[in-house]
A and B are shown apart, each in its own frame.
Chain A
Amino acid sequence: QKEVEQNSGPLSVPEGAIASLNCTYSDRVSQSFFWYRQYSGKSPELIMSIYSNGDKEDGRFTAQLNKASQYVSLLIRDSQPSDSATYLCAVRPMNTGFQKLVFGTGTRLLVSP
């Protein structure tokens, strides 16, 4: 089982819809959770972080964390074509001494006009 799993996609949504991106992780005692956006040919850019169970909202983005289910998700409301990118989920697990982030391989999102 991979430490951090994401569906590779592509996830296709029409402009204005809600995009829902999901991530599961294997280390139950993981702490911090992050979502990065990566445009083709560019480096990852931090968009959200979440540390406790529940929802965290920032503009059109909402991160959701459920530690019991070992599940973290990212919702993008009113999706725009400029949101088309690969979204990386990252987790800081205890089995690395909380020193390292473990990344999923990313979900490619396509928002069509």
Chain B
Amino acid sequence: DVKVTQSSRYLVKRTGEKVFLECVQDMDHENMFWYRQDPGLGLRLIYFSYDVKMKEKGDIPEGYSVSREKKERFSLILESASTNQTSMYLCASRARGNNQPQHFGDGTRLSIL
């Protein structure tokens, strides 16, 4: 079974802080993704990566950056947290190949006070 592990289930931070969300997958997947999910807005892609040190902007990259130094780990960084970044953050990974499904981690519920 694919295992995608997010470092925290719940996180509370203050505005202006630099926040790191970590994601690790154990299936040697090439592709990794970061989403946020808000009521009524569904899943929105922030960034994705299709290889080590490679990254692509998703639909809402503003205020975020990412890092992929190792194949199994994909980090999301909130450079200067703001209250409008309070959300559920979901990491996903998938193998290369068009028919491969994405597998999600358990999510991190982030509150910015």
Known: A43-B90, A44-B90. A103 touches B104 (CB 8 A): no
> Among A31, A45, A49, A100, which residue has its beta carbon within 8 angstroms of that of B104?
A45
- Within 62-88 of A, Cβ neighbours of B (below 8 Å) are at 88
Interface of A is mostly: loop
Known: A42-B106, A42-B107. A100 touches B48 (CB 8 A): yes
Chain A residues contacting B104 (CB-CB under 8 Å) are 36, 43-45
We find that the number of chain A residues with CB closer than 8 angstroms to chain B is: 22
- Within 7-30 of B, Cβ neighbours of A (below 8 Å) are at none
Q: Is A22 an interface residue (CB 8 A)?
A: no
**What mask results when residues 77 to 113 of chain B are scored 1 for a CB within 8 Å of chain A, else 0?**
0000000000000100000001111111111000000
Q: Is B43 an interface residue (CB 8 A)?
A: yes
Chain B residues contacting A98 (CB-CB under 8 Å) are 98
- Least CB distance, A45 to chain B, in whole angstroms: 7
Q: Is the beta-carbon distance between B103 and A46 smaller than 8 angstroms?
A: yes
> Among A42, A45, A51, which residue has its beta carbon within 8 angstroms of that of B99?
A51
Residues of A that sit less than 8 Å from B by CB = 31-32, 34, 36, 42-46, 49, 51, 88, 90, 92, 98-101, 103-106
Query: Would you list 10 pairs from A and B whose C-beta atoms are within 8 A, ordered by A residue?
Result: A31-B98, A32-B101, A43-B104, A43-B105, A43-B107, A51-B99, A90-B102, A99-B31, A100-B33, A103-B42
